[in-house]
Amino acid sequence: MTVLSFLDVHVAPDALDRAPAVIHDTLVATRAREGCLGVDVTVDVDDETHFVLVEKWQTIAADDAYRAWRATPEGASLLGPILAGAPTLTRTEVHDEI
């Protein structure tokens, strides 16, 4: 079943000018992972420091494998230093039959 993962992040105001490049570079690796069907980057219309990354995965197993890889030194991203706090992850399954 297709999975949508929403990564809710707040960029530190003093890092806002670097955020698009850091997010882009991070997502190059994300989009290349097996099972990734795409990633959209959204920005809150009322708060330019609030980003929601919408990832689409073929399966929960593909998303799990990606999260495990990101937790390794090889998969570590450069997002941490530009964030104002810890990101929030919400994962949902797509139910086309509803």
Pairwise CA distance, residues 67 & 87, whole Å: 13
Pairwise CA distance, residues 17 & 79, whole Å: 13
State which fold the 3-93 domain adopts: Alpha-Beta Plaits (3.30.70)
pLDDT tens sequence across 57-84: 999 999 999 999 999 999 999 999 999 9
Round the average pLDDT of the chain to a whole number and report it: 97
Write down the pTM of the prediction.
0.93
pLDDT tens sequence across 7-48: 999 999 999 999 999 999 999 999 999 999 999 999 999 999
Strand residue runs (E) in the chain: 3-10, 36-43, 50-57, 88-93
Q: What percent of the chain has pLDDT over 90?
A: 97
Q: What percent of the chain has pLDDT over 70?
A: 100
Helix (H) or strand (E) holding 69: helix 60-70
